[in-house]
Each structure stands twice: as C-alpha cells, then as structure tokens.
Amino acid sequence: MIVPVGKNRISERDLFLIGIPGLKDLPHYLDLRSQYFGAFFVCDADRIPDTEIVELAHSLIRQGMAYLCVWGKDCERVHDLFDEVIVGFDPHPTDESVRMTFWLDRVSLDEALWHFLYVAFPADLYWENCSAELIVVVDCDQRAQQIRTRLADQTALSRDVAGEDDE
C-alpha cells in the first residue's frame, strides 16, 4: 500500500513510500494526485529479470514518471533498461522534455535518498505539474524503515549527508 510520508522540505512535493516484496506487487494504478512524479527505487535487482523491469518502466512512464533514481545491487542495469523504454516513448527529447535518470551505486542509502530529494528534479515540461515523489523499496523492510525515519527528519538527513542545516 502506498503511504503518504510528508513533504519534501525543499521542493514541497508530496512524498509517498511503498514497500513491496517484488516489482510485480507494485499497484497498477498509482494514486499520487499529481500528473507527473519523481521515482526512487531501492532494490537489489541482480535477481530481477529484465522483462519485469521493462514492464515496470512502461507502467510508470505511462502514469507520469518524470525522473528516476535507482539504488541497490545492479542499479545501473535498471537505469539502462528504464532509459531504453524512455527513448521508445520519446526518441527525440529536448532539454525541456527529457526524463532524467540516475543510478547511485557507490553511495550509502542515506546519500542516495538525499540525492533524490535535493538533486534530482523534473525537466521544465513536467515541473509545474510534478507535485509528488514516490519511493519504492523492494523486498527489504529494514530499508523502508530507514527511509521512513530519515524522511521524518529531513534536516538531520541533510546535516548527516551534506553537512547542511536548515536555512
């Protein structure tokens, strides 16, 4: 079940979190109350078949995914598969329409979450109607709880990761 977990303290986008056992367990319809959204996938994808990742990419893009960050084992492959699907939807993106994607394989989960919250953003075409960020954690309740805790105190997350306080 997708759970609202507050707002991004900088962008003011609504934050949603879902923990699922596998990619096929993500609901087919995401009620994020936003035309476009950012997505952060936390999963060890080394045992997930390409076909499941491609199906997921198609579904999320059709539902308005404007940008993506991926963290965990084999996240570069997930990123690359999403990029292939994105190109199929829009083979000639412009600076205003590109769907930004990042894989974050050499940082901690806290650093990847910080990157998603404060560095990743939608292109101009999506900006005005992008008011949600979805965090999907696959097969790891401990990681979902870590993210929930960090989202509850985003100031501490920024301080711990980037040495920044509010203001």
pLDDT for residue 101: 97
**At 83, which CATH number?**
3.90.190
Q: How many domains does the chain have?
A: 1
Residue 85 maps to a domain: yes
Residue 22 maps to a domain: yes
Beta strands 3-7 and 14-20, pairing class: antiparallel
Residue 157 maps to a domain: yes
Residue 167 maps to a domain: no
pLDDT band (50, 70, 90) for residue 167: low
The 10s digit of each residue's pLDDT in 35-92 is: 999 999 999 999 999 999 999 999 999 999 999 999 999 999 999 999 999 999 999 9
Question: Mean pLDDT score of the chain, rounded to an integer?
Answer: 96
- Is the pLDDT assigned to residue 166 strictly greater than 60? no
Task: Of 14, 101, 89, give the one whose Cα is nearest residue 59.
Answer: 89
Indicate whether this model's pTM tops 0.75.
Answer: yes
The half-sphere exposure of 17 on its side-chain side, counting CA atoms within 13 A, is 20
- Helix axis angle, 141-152 to 109-118, nearest 10°: 50
> Which range of residues forms the domain containing residue 111?
3-162
